[in-house]
Amino acid sequence: MSFLICVGALAFLMLVAYRGFSVILFAPIAAMGAVLLTDPSAVPPIFTGLFMDKMVGFVKLYFPVFLLGAVFGKVIELSGFSKSIVSAVIKLVGRERAVTSIVLVCLLLTYGGVSLFVVVFAVYPFAAEMFRQSDIPKRLIPGVIALGAFTVTMDALPGTPQIQNIIPTTFFKTDAYAAPWLGLIGSVFILALGLLYLEWRVRSAIARGEGYGSGHSNEPEPVASEVLPNPILALSPLVAVGVLNKLFTMAIPGIYGTTSEVALTPGAKPLVTQVSSVAGIWAVEGALLCGILMVLAFAWKPVSQRFADGTKAAIGGSLLAAMNTASEYGFGAVIAALPGFLIIRDALTAIPNPLVNEAVTVTALAGITGSASGGMSIALAAMADQFIAAANAAGIPMEVLHRVASMASGGMDTLPHNGAVITLLGVTGLTHRQSYGDIFAVTCIKTLAVFFVIAVYYLTGIV
């Protein structure tokens, strides 16, 4: 019965998310419902002392990353830099290579720190125009954008500032550049198989005589001709975020040491911070802040005219994204405290290999919650100590644990109820029936890549 209570709570949360209800509202309902069925008297203390404590703790650590990432993406959009980058890449690669062009644009924007949600809105008009001119079925656009925005630059490439690559730093005391060679190898694997699959899908559709189609909903206006910023200038803030992230990652431990003690008033109790737990977060925050300032310096006039309204939307989006994930984090902490979770944990422990154990656990919970960051947060909050102990016993570096957890979070997370998938389909005006099959194929390739990386590590020892 305790096991069924856990599974029922997870299934309920997955169902309401799939139906489009707010996770912020229903995560505590699902969690407290499970507690009610276990011990009714424990509901108030568990809600206040565990659910809210973990939820607020997540916001404390990660909300600045969500916020700065959203604002950075918005000023990149307002400045015209995103249009300039898209236009330059299309000219460089060629309009006849529509799939490769769109994937490359998504990679550049997301690796530079632009939120994947912002990338969907920025890239879709160009993707629709290219597919229309090349007479490629519109239903293939979501799969192409998913490969570019939801895969390697989200959690595989070393140094990516996306939140899925930052969360493991606080558990494993690593940085965003953990296991760089494994990340690069996994990225090549995903992109090679993904592009081969999508190009095959395009050729098959053309061979059947299927074109772009007509009568589509949410068709974008044709991309207007306008004077765009120099693409090198447009790329410079994105490059700066990546470079500064690395520099700050190296500099912060040297400046602050492993522990920081600060007292602004003489004789006051010092504020003690374990720098090793937050150095990766500080580095990303500092890099994103510098990126925002660079965009403002380079494009003050166009950005300042719409900065107030634009940043309101960005801040609202970052609040929603952070609170969604934080609610799932609090939900996971409650589920992990239930007796039934011991059965799940023991079943997963039966997987003898620590890296496979971690990968299966993280990707399963990411799939159940429909969130890469939420599923990974749940898994690491509940089982990070177990993963670390098993890795230490097997002589596995923490950097490898970081990269496997990060990549696994972006595996089965894109099931039909995933928020990013729903957003992508909504923006493109397509349905799950029309386009989800290609997104799922990319999801399977991404999941397979995690186990390919694990195999590479055991065969070569490369990190």
Domain-located, residue 449: yes
Dihedral of alpha carbons 280, 86, 72, 446, sign: negative
**pLDDT reading at 390 higher than 70:** yes
Query: Is pLDDT at 223 greater than 60 in this prediction?
Result: no
Q: For residue 33, tell me if it sits in a domain.
A: yes
User: pTM for the whole thing?
Assistant: 0.77
Q: What is the pLDDT of residue 20?
A: 65
Residue 219 within a domain: no
Say if 340 falls within a structural domain: yes
Whether residue 89 lies inside any domain: the answer is: yes
Domains contained in the chain, number: 1
Q: Which two structure tokens, joined as six digits, stand for 82?
A: 């995103």
Counted residue by residue, the chain has a size of 463
- Give mean pLDDT, residues 303-323: 83
pLDDT at 88: 82
Per-residue tokens: 138: 């519109």
Range of 179's domain?
A: 1-212+226-263+270-460
- Pair of tokens at residue 319: 């609040």
292-306 pLDDT, tens digit per residue, is 999 999 999 888 888
Across 263-368, where does the E strand assignment appear? 271-274
Residue 218 lies in a domain: no
Contact 3, 340 (CB under 8 A): yes
Q: For the CA atoms of the chain, what is the radius of gyration?
A: 22
Residue 380 lies in a domain: yes
- Percent of the chain having pLDDT more than 90? 35
What's the CA gap between 262 and 248, in Å, rounded? Answer: 20
**Token pair belonging to 230:** 């120099």
pLDDT for 119: 79
Structure letter (DSSP) for residue 179: S
pLDDT at 18 over 80: no
Does a structural domain hold residue 279?
yes
Cβ 225 vs Cβ 95: under 8 Å: no
- Do 13 and 23 form a contact (C-beta atoms < 8 A)? yes
| Residue type (1 letter), 287 | A
Question: Over the stretch 152-173, which tens digit does the pLDDT of each residue have?
Answer: 999 999 988 888 998 999 899 9
Structure tokens at 130: 């290219």
Selected residue with higher pLDDT from 365 and 171: 171
Higher pLDDT, 196 or 324: 196
pLDDT of residue 221: 57
